[in-house]
Amino acid sequence: MSVDKKRVIVALDYPDQQQALAMAKQLDPQRCRVKVGKELFTRCGPGIVEALQSQGFEVFLDLKFHDIPNTTAKAVRAAAELGVWMVNVHASGGRKMMEAARNELEQVNGSNTLLIAVTILTSMERSDLQEIGLDIDPLEQVKRLAALTERSGLHGVVCSAQEVKPLRDIIAPDFKLVTPGIRPADADVGDQKRIMTPSDAITAGSDYLVIGRPITKADSPIESLARIDAELSPLI
């Protein structure tokens, strides 16, 4: 089985298509994938995905669908028919929702879209969970939701890199772990609470690293990406 060497997903967290495409032009689709989130997709619609694909990029559509099973399943199908590389739902939507989404995805002829689930947002701590009625350590809730996601037939989860090792003890080796909150050692922490460096995350068992500002706010985004690649190369 070939090893996927392209582990970095650059978060294009911009308010409009012009800025997002300008950043994409400073990157290399042979060295990274890109993430389109809620703000950019809501403003620009499917056109931004198609524009990035025309530049050669594989797109992670990060919309975190969470609705009744049929609605979520149809949204996942629409993403697959758009040709995105990866799309996600919220694991807290439950087994029926996730199974419906996976079943719908399987009906899309020729689709290779990966379907993953969000466990707990990396900005959340135990106090945040308590406020929504979950008096539980974040790691325990992440493990519970990751196991449910795997049983529901999805390809992986989004989780903090600090949660990767405990998850690897309870899930299959090919279950994908996608980790935001990745910051090179010399980068600003920002609003992420549970973070890790790129090399530490890969060593822990992360499959894909979502990295935004350390690349997009760098003086030279392609050089920042190259430094991260060089850091990861011996590990994959």
Residues of each annotated binding site for substrate: 13, 35, 62-71, 122, 183, 192, 212-213
The torsion angle over the Cα atoms of residues 217, 223, 225 and 231, rounded to 10 degrees, is -130
Written as six digits, the tokens of 230 are 């060089």
The residue from 5, 6, 25, 64 that is catalytic is: 64
Question: Cα separation of 212 and 224, whole Å?
Answer: 11
Q: Is 23 helix (H, G, I), strand (E, B) or coil?
A: helix
R_g over Cα of the chain: 17
Question: Cα separation of 117 and 130, whole Å?
Answer: 22
**Whether 176 is catalytic:** no
**CA-to-CA separations, 18 to 12, 21, 40, 77, in angstroms, rounded:** 11, 5, 10, 27
List the beta bridge partners of residue 60.
Answer: 35, 86
Q: Which residues are catalytic?
A: 64
